[in-house]
Structure 1
């Protein structure tokens, strides 16, 4: 009986310690994050542009996005505000902030159930034969547990994953 109690207390203290450590990691990390990544791809700027700006196709190419709801569009049908439903539940509302066809596309996360805000800027620079793609993330996570989880996953994981999707789409050309 004494062994069982010692094991139970030891396990409880270990779990509590891990939770405190997890929260401490999130607490002591800077809520703001900025980073960029660039890569040369053997593809035309127009092809990359069409891929990154096709909001309706996100659930088909990114498994973590299960649904898209277009909230606002321009007269030409271009989405300017949309809601993504991630596979972990909740919501993320994005708004188009800048659009220079085949050159620059900036979107902003204006509301999210995960207490995150930020912007992602895609810059396309023709470098014959191909294009240099630069993605800039400028984000902020106000929730300590979400920040702790993002640190454990890698603060730049979303940024690097997005570049990987683009690279995979245009590799082998």
Structure 2
């Protein structure tokens, strides 16, 4: 019986210690994040533009997005506000902030169940033959546990995954 109690207390202290460490990691991380990544792709700006702005197709391209619901559209039918449902539950509402066809697309995360906000800017610059794609992330996470989780996953994981998705779509052309 004494061994069982010692094991239970030891396991409890270990788990409590890990939780405290996880929260401490989140607490000491900077809430704001800024990073930019660029890559030259052998594809036309229009093709890349059509791919990155196809909001309805996100569930087919990104396994973590279960569904997308268009909430508002511009006069030309371009989605200007949409709700994404991620596979971990919750929601994320994005709004279109800047739209220069085949050149620049800026979206903003305006509301999320994860206590996050931010913007992602996609810039396309023709570089014969091909296009220089630049993605810039400016985000903020106010939740300490979410910051801890992002630290463990890699704070730039979303940015890296976006560029990888675009690269994979247009590689081998």
Provide the C-alpha distance between the structure 1 equivalents of 2:85 and 2:120, rounded to a whole number of angstroms. Answer: 18
Provide the C-alpha distance between the structure 2 equivalents of 1:36 and 1:8, rounded to a whole number of angstroms. Answer: 47
Corresponding position of 1:113: 113
Provide the C-alpha distance between the structure 2 equivalents of 1:36 and 1:122, rounded to a whole number of angstroms. Answer: 10
TM score, norm. by length of structure 1: 0.99
TM score, norm. by length of structure 2: 0.99
- Per the TM alignment, residue 138 of structure 1 is displaced from its structure 2 partner at its CA by 0.2
Provide the C-alpha distance between the structure 1 equivalents of 2:123 and 2:76, rounded to a whole number of angstroms. Answer: 22
Deviations 1:75-98 (A, max 9, x none): 111000000000111100000000
SS in 2 for 1:19: helix
SS in 2 for 1:82: strand
Corresponding position of 1:21: 21
Provide the C-alpha distance between the structure 2 equivalents of 1:137 and 1:78, rounded to a whole number of angstroms. Answer: 22
- Per the TM alignment, residue 105 of structure 1 is displaced from its structure 2 partner at its CA by 0.3
- Per the TM alignment, residue 132 of structure 1 is displaced from its structure 2 partner at its CA by 0.6
Provide the C-alpha distance between the structure 2 equivalents of 1:26 and 1:74, rounded to a whole number of angstroms. Answer: 38
Provide the C-alpha distance between the structure 2 equivalents of 1:76 and 1:36, rounded to a whole number of angstroms. Answer: 30
Q: How does 1:14-163 map to 2 (within 5 A)?
A: 14-163=14-163
Provide the C-alpha distance between the structure 1 equivalents of 2:152 and 2:167, rounded to a whole number of angstroms. Answer: 24
Q: List 4+ stretches of structure 1 deviating above 3 A.
A: none
Provide the C-alpha distance between the structure 1 equivalents of 2:17 and 2:74, rounded to a whole number of angstroms. Answer: 51
Runs (5+) with no aligned partner, structure 2: none
Number of residue pairs aligned between Structure 1 and Structure 2: 173
- Per the TM alignment, residue 170 of structure 1 is displaced from its structure 2 partner at its CA by 0.2
RMSD: 0.4
Deviations 1:40-78 (A, max 9, x none): 000000000000000011011111111010000011110
SS in 1 for 2:119: strand
